[in-house]
């Protein structure tokens, strides 16, 4: 049994403009100690998924259906008190903007110690000691002095370290990192990612990393799910995703990563923007932006299928799945793109033709 | 700063005006007596002095503010009278601010229909002028110290509730609120440990400005003859008792000291409290305009 199993999760937001389905029939699982990545543009439903896991969706949002099994227990069925004892204790979250994730009126040490006292029943002195130890673990120099300083006295990178220390304070089994490095500059980003990786290793914690940056995924994750407009469009291991992307959207995301030494003048982009979630396009929600879209795409909504066997792969257990009509044989023209791998990878030095002919 | 000194001096003077004795056990807690005479006793029966009623201010015999119509020492009464006004001011503000903060926090944090119902109830309270509501309560419950406390507390918290609700609506959007919940904190601890401390600044400013307003309200009720028994040495009541002296008959003397000094005490205290409030406002930089009036605002 996996540590976390999400099955058919649907989350709606009831706004004045209409019902927004932020997460639509999503299933995935995270194994113990595994690092699982979720990629997508803004508004793809990544953060809503993360908040659903902790049952922190607020009005006007509502978890409509589905199951979130954490260690076999459905979080959505738990009482409020049970959920509270899971939050922070077994499942913790690292927030995107460390500056606003820290309460300005308390010292950072107090904020870390609070959860320790609350969940682990430590006394004041013991909690303080553990908090200082955590500050040390996340690489904050002079933790004893820094313990009694306020968030505004820390730099952005240091604040993010404090947020990580807060998340790790009760030694959770499952850590949700919601764009942990988006607010940081690139050199700090690498350090923070290393830190998360090391600590996940050290504390034997499973990590669900949410990001819009494929580079971050490559650095940290084992398996990846690409989301678009609330739906999963591709699930794969990191290697498969990078060397053998199957969905046009994934290919588009890959294509828009800038590369050093590239000859072209302009950065490639995916044309258009994410559709309005109130009025999703018919059929495949990606078809208005997809360069390979055909008439069939506007009519039929593709489900997640295994690209090799074309069998449905929308269950919790599926490791590889793509939601594109191509793989159910409904496309006439096929997908026409090439994956060009550079950088001396032994497995595929030369460019490799991809897609259907 | 000046305000702080004046208020501090007045509070000290009023505390040390007469000895404080806990009557049930007969222990004197505060033995000092700055005020030279008992505030309620007519000096006509005091054999140590031969002062008349309406004696003008004089230093020898020591009546710096003269005596009133029943030959009571006005100086002693003004000092002692602060006990009513000032204590009611502070207690009422503390109580209303506490109630208002709790009410407004709950309303703002939960939002939705909870907020809707709680705020409509506030609107009902706001539909009446605060002093009128206080009048109604005093009229129902009668005169007296606790009745006055109640009169100003029961509806006075509405302004604070509305003020902090607005703050909370914006503070709760901060990610640290979500972070606290993600760490498993209860609603109660999220509201009062994480949100309220960040939202409290304008309430503190409002509260410090309101002490003066409440004192004026108490004095206003006193002047209308609704605060305390007419013999009490509360500032407003003293004005009420002696208001006849302001319009003496033809050729009569104006006993200005019996009204000017209590009035001056009210003015001095309220103005100093407002200075303090402005000082706090500047210190906390709480860009709040002070249009929300305390219930009972004169």
What are the structure tokens assigned to B33, written together? 């007596």
How far does chain B reach from its first CA to its final CA, in angstroms? 25
* Cβ separation B184–A95 shorter than 8 A: no
Do A87 and B180 make contact, defined as CB atoms within 8 angstroms? no
> Has residue B289 got a pLDDT over 90?
no
CA closest to A167 among chain B residues:
B183
CB-CB neighbours of A342 under 10 Å: 12
The whole-number pLDDT of residue B227 equals: 76
**Numbered residues of chain B with Cβ closer than 8 Å to any chain A Cβ:** 111-112, 174-176, 178-186, 193-194, 197-198
| pLDDT for residue B26 | 67
User: Residue A284 is inside which H or E element, if any?
Assistant: none
Strands A321-322, A231-237: pairing is antiparallel
Rounded average pLDDT per 10-residue block, chain A, 357 residues: 89 88 90 91 86 87 90 90 89 87 91 89 91 90 92 90 89 90 82 87 89 86 91 90 88 81 75 83 87 86 85 81 85 76 48 40
Token duo for residue B21: 């004795």
Query: Of A193, A202, A207, A217, which is closest to residue A53 (Cα–Cα)?
Result: A207
This model of the complex carries an ipTM of 0.77
Name the pLDDT band for B46 (thresholds 50, 70, 90). low
SS3 B214: helix
List the helix and strand counts (H, then E) for chain B. 12, 2
Question: Does the pLDDT at position B259 exceed 90?
Answer: no
Distance CA B90, CA B276 (A): 14
Maximum Cα interatomic distance, chain A, rounded to a whole number of Å: 69
Report the run of H or E that residue B139 belongs to, with start and end. Answer: helix B130-141
CA B202-B204-B209 angle, to 5 degrees, is 95
In A, which residues are within 8 Å of B114 by CB distance?
none
Residue of A nearest to B173 (CA): A100
Strands (E), chain A: 4-15, 18-30, 35-39, 61-70, 73-74, 91-94, 174-178, 206-211, 223-228, 231-237, 321-322, 337-339, 352-354
Task: Say yes or no for a CB contact (<8 Å) between A100 and B112.
Answer: no
Nearest to A98 by CA among A170, A54, A152, A137: A152
Contacts 24+ apart (CB under 8 A), A232-236: A232/A26, A232/A27, A232/A28, A232/A304, A232/A321, A232/A323, A233/A286, A233/A322, A233/A323, A233/A324, A234/A321, A234/A322, A234/A323, A235/A28, A235/A304, A235/A313, A235/A318, A235/A319, A235/A320, A235/A321, A235/A322, A236/A319, A236/A320, A236/A321
Chain A residues 16-55 with a CB less than 8 Å from chain B: 51, 54
Averaged over B139-164, what is the pLDDT? 88
Neighbours of B266 (CB within 10 A): 26
Question: Which among A96, A105, A166 has the least Cβ separation from residue B183?
Answer: A166
Check if the beta carbon of residue A297 is closer than 8 Å to that of residue A335.
Answer: no
Average pLDDT along chain B: 81
CB contact under 8 A, B182 and A92: yes
> Residue A85: its chain B contacts at CB < 8 A?
184
Quote the tokens at residue A200: 């996940």
**In A, which residues are within 8 Å of B111 by CB distance?**
59
Write out chain A residues lying below 8 Å of B184, CB-based.
84-89, 115, 118-119
> Would you say residue B102 has pLDDT above 90?
yes
Class of domain B77-284 (CATH, top level): mainly alpha
Q: For A102, which residue in chain B has the nearest alpha carbon?
A: B176
Looking at the partner chain, which of B112, B176, B186 has a beta carbon nearest the beta carbon of A102? Answer: B176
The answer to whether A309 contacts chain B (CB < 8 Å) is no
Res B47: pLDDT? 62
Q: Is A184 on the interface with B (CB under 8 A)?
A: no
Which chain A residue has its CA at the smallest distance from B174's CA? Answer: A100
| Domain boundaries defined on chain B | 77-284
Cα separation of B128 and B144, whole Å? 23
**Within a 10 A sphere around the Cβ of B188, how many other Cβ atoms?**
10
Best to test chain B binding among A61, A90, A101, A183 (most B CBs inside 10 Å): A101
Q: What is the pLDDT of residue A189?
A: 85
Tokens (6 digits) for B294: 């305390």
Give the C-alpha separation, B60 to A136, whole Å: 74
User: Rounded CA gap, A231 and A24, in Å?
Assistant: 5
pLDDT at B100: 94
Instruction: Please give the Cα distance from A288 to A285 (Å, whole number).
Output: 7
Facing residue for B198 by CB, picked from A56, A101, A105: A105
**Residue A145: DSSP 8-state:** H
CB contact under 8 A, B184 and A59: no
pLDDT digits (tens, 9 = 90+) for B201-232: 889 988 988 888 888 888 888 888 887 777 77
Q: Which of A103, A104, A171 to mutate to test the interface with B (most CBs of B within 10 A)?
A: A103
Inter-chain contacts counted by CB atoms under 8 A, chains A and B: 64
Rounded to 10 deg, the angle between the B257-284 and B201-223 helix axes is 170
Mean pLDDT of B34-52: 68
Q: Which residues of B touch A51 (CB under 8 A)?
A: 178
pLDDT 10s digits, B169-191: 998 888 888 888 888 888 888 89
Please check whether residue A119 touches B, CB under 8 A. Answer: yes
Q: Which of B109, B180, B184 to mutate to test the interface with A (most CBs of A within 10 A)?
A: B184
Give B167 to chain A, closest Cα distance, Å: 15
Q: pTM score > 0.90 for this model? A: no
Measured CA to CA in angstroms, residue B59 lies from B38, B47, B55, B65, B75 at distances of: 18, 18, 11, 9, 11
Is residue A168 within 8 A of residue A160, CB to CB? The reply is no
């Amino acid at each position: 049994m996996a540590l976390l199993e999400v099955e058919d999760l649907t989350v709606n937001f009831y706004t004045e403009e209409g019902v927004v389905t932020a997460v639509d029939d999503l299933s995935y699982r995270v194994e113990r100690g595994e690092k699982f990545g979720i990629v997508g543009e803004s508004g793809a439903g990544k953060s809503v998924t993360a908040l659903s896991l902790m049952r922190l969706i607020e009005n006007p949002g509502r978890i409509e259906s589905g199951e979130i099994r954490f260690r076999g227990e459905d979080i959505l069925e738990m009482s409020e008190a049970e959920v509270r004892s899971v939050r922070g204790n077994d499942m913790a979250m690292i927030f995107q903007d460390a500056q606003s994730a820290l309460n300005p009126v308390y010292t950072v040490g107090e904020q870390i110690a609070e959860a320790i006292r609350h969940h682990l029943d430590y006394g004041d002195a013991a909690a303080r000691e553990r908090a200082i130890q955590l500050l040390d673990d996340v690489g904050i120099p002079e933790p004893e002095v820094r313990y009694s300083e306020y968030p505004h006295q820390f730099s952005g990178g240091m604040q993010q370290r404090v947020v990580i220390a807060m998340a790790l304070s009760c030694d959770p089994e499952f850590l949700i990192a919601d764009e942990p490095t988006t607010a940081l500059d690139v050199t700090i980003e690498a350090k923070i990612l290393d830190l998360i990786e090391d600590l996940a290793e050290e504390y034997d914690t499973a990590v669900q990393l949410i990001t819009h940056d494929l580079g971050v995924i490559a650095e940290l994750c084992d398996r990846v799910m690409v989301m678009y407009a609330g739906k999963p469009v591709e699930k794969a291991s990191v290697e498969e995703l990078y060397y053998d992307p199957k969905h046009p959207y994934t290919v588009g995301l890959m294509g828009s990563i800038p590369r050093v030494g590239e000859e072209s003048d302009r950065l490639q982009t995916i044309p258009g923007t994410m559709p309005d979630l109130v009025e999703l396009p018919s059929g495949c929600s990606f078809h208005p932006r997809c360069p390979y879209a055909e008439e069939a795409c506007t009519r039929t909504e593709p489900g997640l299928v295994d690209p090799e066997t074309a069998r449905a792969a929308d269950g919790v257990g599926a490791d590889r799945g793509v939601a594109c009509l191509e793989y159910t044989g409904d496309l006439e023209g096929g997908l026409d793109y090439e994956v060009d791998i550079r950088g001396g990878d032994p497995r595929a030095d030369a460019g490799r033709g991809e897609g259907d002919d | 700063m000046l305000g702080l000194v004046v208020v501090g001096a007045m509070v000290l003077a009023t505390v040390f005006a007469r000895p404080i004795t806990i009557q049930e056990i007969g222990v004197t807690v505060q033995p000092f007596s700055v005020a030279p005479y008992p505030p309620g006793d007519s000096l006509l029966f005091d054999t140590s002095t031969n002062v008349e009623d309406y004696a003008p201010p004089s230093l020898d015999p020591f009546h710096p503010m003269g005596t009133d119509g029943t030959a009571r020492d006005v100086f002693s009464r003004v000092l002692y009278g602060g006990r009513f006004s000032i204590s009611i001011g502070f207690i009422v503000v503390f109580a209303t601010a506490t109630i208002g903060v709790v009410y407004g926090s709950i309303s703002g944090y939960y939002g939705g229909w909870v907020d809707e119902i709680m705020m409509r109830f506030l609107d009902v309270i706001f539909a009446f002028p605060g002093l009128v509501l206080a009048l109604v309560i005093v009229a129902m419950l009668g005169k007296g110290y606790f009745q006055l406390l109640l009169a100003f507390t029961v509806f006075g918290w509405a302004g604070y509730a509305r003020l902090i609700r607005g703050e909370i609506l914006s503070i709760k959007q901060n990610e640290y609120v979500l972070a606290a919940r993600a760490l498993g904190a209860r609603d109660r601890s999220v509201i009062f440990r994480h949100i309220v401390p960040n939202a409290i600044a304008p309430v503190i400013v409002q509260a410090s400005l309101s002490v003066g307003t409440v004192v004026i309200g108490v004095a206003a009720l006193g002047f209308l003859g609704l605060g305390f028994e007419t013999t009490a040495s509360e500032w407003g009541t003293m004005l009420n008792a002696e208001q006849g002296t302001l319009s003496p008959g033809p050729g009569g003397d104006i006993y200005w000291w019996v009204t000017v000094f209590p009035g001056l005490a009210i003015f001095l205290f309220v103005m100093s409290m407002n200075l303090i409030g402005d000082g706090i406002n500047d210190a906390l930089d709480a860009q709040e305009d002070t249009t929300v009036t305390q219930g009972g605002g004169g």
